[in-house]
Structure 1
Amino acid sequence: MFVVAIATGVFYRYGMLTPLPGGLALPNVRHAHSHLMYFGWVTPLLMVLISETVAPQRPFGRRLVWGLIALAVPTWALFLRYGYGVVALGEARLPLATIFSSLHMLVWYAFAAAYVRATWGMRRTPALRVWDVALAFLVLASGGAWARAAFVALDVRDPFLTTAAVHLFLDLFSDGWFLFALLGVWLARFPALWTPRLRLLTLGMAVGAPLAFLLGVPVALTPPHVRWVASGGGLLLALGCVGYALALWREVRGVERLALFFLVLKATGLMVASLPAGAMWGEQVGLRIPYLHWFLLGTVSVVLLARYAERFPSTQPAIRGLVGAIVLVQVSLLPLTGVWPAALGGAWRLWFAFGAAFIACVAACWVWMTMWMSRRAGQYAPAPIAP
């Protein structure tokens, strides 16, 4: 899924250089890329990590994870071809990509229920406490998608409400489910980090995440009093990210330290966005895409690759090569924003973005091939990813 998602990103950058073949639309390719990254790559692997840590002998999430992957493939194809548009099936006109995407949520609910059953009565370790919050945010974030659908059905056109529903889904999914699930993965490995200071920071993050999603709503649409509440949530979330990065710096090595760097970069972006003037500046220069890549690609994907590579020791050189390519992708996004001096602009920026993404795709294929060959040779450890 990761290779296909990256390849779709390469295809998107190709579409920035020349018209896409087959009548494909550039926004649809972007939707296909982001949905596969969210729902076909990060979410299933996080669920694998959680289920294999909670119940290493009988992981409870394997069938559900395969169900998610089975749904992710047609959803990706439908978004690639039709986006959020409707498809004519006889006399009916249906938004097939949206329908398939909504089916993912049923699997999320099933995983949350399986998690509750598997952990009921267990002593709440630091990882379990954080994963409790992560699964709660997963369910809460899905409410944004249901709300957006309800607004369409009820013909609600208030720009703040409709935009806020989208960001409740996407941003709380990222800053709630992804972030807290990832913190739980770290705490499963380093439970001694669960000090009173870190517990307080985690509590602040749990309070801030359901408020910080409003920072994604354009400043012009957000009432001032709501904006300041969102700013408070963003600052709590940012402080927690920095606190975890400092605590983990002495525990992790190699590529995971780079992941912590991008986590701090994300926290810096949250702090800037917490100020209305900073948020307006970010909107004007177009920092939304780099900001998303700092966390989703630079932190989450790097940590997941590092954890999964523990099963395949022979993949370490390939993983380092892929992480180097990920850094190149991050750098290639900056010239596409308004932060880059206009005097240094030109078509080379699009070629640079395309080339960086292509290199990352080749590196991801290298990692996948190395893992496949290791499995064929029996050179892998079938132990849980997170001990």
Structure 2
Amino acid sequence: MHRKRESVRSERRGMKAALECITVRQWILLALFNLVLVAGLGLLMRLKVLLPMPAINQKFLLHAHSHFAFAGWVSHALMVLVTAMVFNQQQNEKLPWRYQLTLIANLLASYGMLISFFLQGYGLYSIIASTATIVVSYVFAMLCWRDMSRSRRSSSTFRWLRAALLFLVLSSVGTFYLAHLMASSNMDARLQLASVYFYLHFQYNGWFFFACMALAQHGFDRKNTAIKYSKTVFWVFAVTCPVNYLLSVLWWDMPRWLYVVLIIAVLGQSIAWAQWLRGCLANRLVLGRSLTPLVKWLLIGVATAATIKFVLQGLSVIPSLSQLSYSFRPIVIGYLHLVLLAVISLFIIAYGYIGGLLHINRLAIASTTVFVSGVILNELLLMGQGISGLARTPIHHMPLLLAVAAGMLLVGIVGLLLSQRHKGS
């Protein structure tokens, strides 16, 4: 019995030692591998439309793709980058043990979702795995909030990060309410849709966006650069983010005064974004001094995509346009991909290059170019499909073209991952 206990303790020490050896850069490379899986599932979805694949359930595949993209790719990458920021750690340093465990737990739950959703869709195991990712997000938010309180780092950076963590926790309300509706056999489609959009809104426009802004602010602080009216910009986004959820449910009857508040919130975000971009442009010589051409173009692309996002958000205030766009699936998917790929994913990749977490070499430049081209083509096709649907004028060979775009995304991210085997420039 004593030998057995010693053996167990030895195994635990070995596992802890192995985990403690994982560096910040290695965690990000693992995130890129997860993005490869996301892109592979996306390509498989496009190919299923073209080829007979009776063994694969398209709906199950969609759930696996979307859930893993959120938890396994974006949330995992942001957790790593945010933790490294809080502790001011570089690419070859190790994250604190408690965060290493949290990341492992998130990955295990994410892979559990990937497999279970692919095999059964919404079922016992996929719900357990989904719940596990939510619990892990709570643990991460608690740990990060506590460690921020102990840090003496810039309050402007942590202001964005605290809001990101609050919205991360808040987003789970939509998931739990949807589970409640299903458990109570409430088949009200509007309530179910409102729950899904609640989760999506506070993930996309809350956790993802505010975490990226915290990382951006951290970059400004490291260059001793102050963005004019940055505190005001933060509070505008923080206050209006919950209000802008109403954009997702404009089809629901709401009082006129609430609609007016929504219009003010949308305009406020647009003005705040324009002011923030203006501040960045005013400091572009300082901010861009040490950036490579690849990173500069990536950040320009991110800023352009985010600006398009805010323009579309402003147009969606018009009820007729909102109802029309939300009724066409390609437009919704195009908007979600615009935020997830063109804004969040490209920002994470650019931030990885800036911090040395990703090495720049010829293959990396070529692969990133292919990936960005795939993002642009995918967006153009989805928006074109939506517009053609509204005009009732179908575009020929659209499934094939979408498969080509998905293939470019996969080839680009696989190439980027392979490029990281060598540090060369």
Indicate the TM-score class for this superposition, using the shorter chain for normalisation: 0.7 to 0.9
Deviation at 1:78, TM superposition (A): 1.5
1:357 partner amino acid: A
1:96–1:380 Cα change, 3 Å: farther
Partner of residue 147 from structure 1, selected from 177, 202, 206: 177
1:147-186 to structure 2, matched below 5 A, reads 147-156=177-186, 158-186=188-216
Once residues 33 and 209 of structure 1 are traced to their aligned partners in structure 2, the CA distance between those partners, rounded to angstroms, is 26
2: CA distance, partners of 1:196 / 1:121: 27
Query: Which residue matches 1:259?
Result: 302
Identity of aligned residues (%): 22
**2:42–2:406: 8 Å Cα contact kept in structure 1?**
yes
For 2:13, the equivalent position in structure 1 comes to: none
- In the alignment, the residues of structure 2 paired with residue 211 and residue 244 of structure 1 have an alpha-carbon distance, to the nearest angstrom, of 20
Check conservation: 1:48, 1:62, Cα contact below 8 A: no
Deviation by residue 1:242-266 (Cα, 9 ceiling, x = unmatched): 4334433534512111011000011
Deviation of 1:269 (Å): 1.2
Q: How does 1:182-261 map to 2 (within 5 A)?
A: 182-191=212-221, 194-195=226-227, 197-217=229-249, 219-225=250-256, 226-249=258-281, 250=284, 251=287, 253-261=296-304
Query: C-alpha distance in 2, partners of 1:3/1:38?
Result: 13
Q: From 135, 138, 145, give the equivalent of 1:109.
A: 138
Aligned-partner Cα distance in 2 for 1:162–1:75: 20
Distance (Å, rounded) in 1 between the aligned partners of 2:278 and 2:388: 28
**Alpha-carbon displacement from aligned partner over 1:326-385 (angstroms, at most 9, x marks no partner):** 2222222223213568586344111111111112111111111111x22xxxx389xxxx
- Give the one of 335, 347, 351 matched to 1:291: 335
What are structure 1's unaligned runs of at least 5 residues? 87-94, 382-387
Query: Does residue 327 of structure 1 match 2:376?
Result: yes
**Alignment of 1:122 onto 2:162:** no
Alpha-carbon distance, 1:150 to partner: 2.4
2:150 partner SS: coil
Indicate how the Cα distance of structure 1 residues 247 and 278 shifts in structure 2: closer, same or farther if over 3 A, else same. farther
Q: Structure 2, unaligned stretches of length 5 or more?
A: 1-33, 289-295
Aligned pair count?
365
For 2:65, the aligned partner's letter is: H
**1:26 CA drift (Å):** 1.7
Indicate if the aligned counterparts of 2:72 and 2:106 stay in contact, CA closer than 8 A: yes
In structure 1, what is the equivalent of residue 64 of structure 2? 32
1:355 to 393, 397, 404: 404
Displacement, 1:47?
0.8
CA distance change for structure 1 residues 304 and 327 in 2, over 3 Å: closer, same or farther? same
Q: Alpha carbon RMSD of aligned pairs, Å?
A: 2.4
Aligned AA for 2:210?
F
CA distance in 2, matches of 1:380, 1:121: 38
In 2, distance between residues paired with 1:127 and 1:107? 23
Post-superposition Cα deviations, 1:300-329, rounded to whole Å, max 9, x if no partner, equal 100111222333122333223322222222
- The alignment partner of 1:220 has SS state of coil
Does residue 137 (structure 1) correspond to residue 167 (structure 2)? The answer is: yes
Contact kept? 1:127, 1:184, Cα under 8 Å: yes
Q: Partner of 1:223: helix, strand, or coil?
A: coil
Report the Cα distance in structure 2 between the residues aligned to 1:103 and 1:70, rounded to whole angstroms.
9
- Does 2:362 correspond to 1:318? no
- Secondary structure at the counterpart of residue 337 of structure 1: helix
The 8 Å contact of residues 76 and 107 in structure 2, kept in 1 or not, is answered as: yes
Q: How far apart in 1 are the matches of 2:199 and 2:184?
A: 19
Q: Does 1:269 align with 2:312?
A: yes
Corresponding residue SS for 1:59: coil
8 Å CA contact retained: 1:242, 1:263 = no
1:62 pairs with 2:91? no
* 1:20 alignment partner in structure 2: 53
Structure exhibiting the larger radius of gyration computed from Cα positions: 2
Q: Contact 1:239–1:267 (CA<8 Å) still a contact in 2? A: no
TM-score by length of 2: 0.79
How big is the shift at 1:224?
A: 4.1
Offset from partner CA, 1:183-202 (integer Å, 9 cap, x none):
01110001356545232122
1:3, CA displacement in angstroms? Answer: 0.5
Please list the CA deviations of residues 206-262 of structure 1 after superposition, one character each: whole Å capped at 9, or x if unmatched: 111112123122x33343445544444333334333433443353451211101100
Partners of 1:3 and 1:365 within 8 A in 2: yes
Given that 1:284 and 1:338 are in contact with CA atoms closer than 8 Å, whether structure 2 keeps it comes out as no
1:278 corresponds to which residue? 321
- Contact 2:156–2:217, Cα closer than 8 Å, also in 1: yes
- Separation of aligned partners in 2, 1:18 and 1:125: 53
- Is the 8 Å Cα contact of residues 168 and 214 (structure 1) preserved in structure 2? no
The residue type paired with residue 410 of structure 2 is C
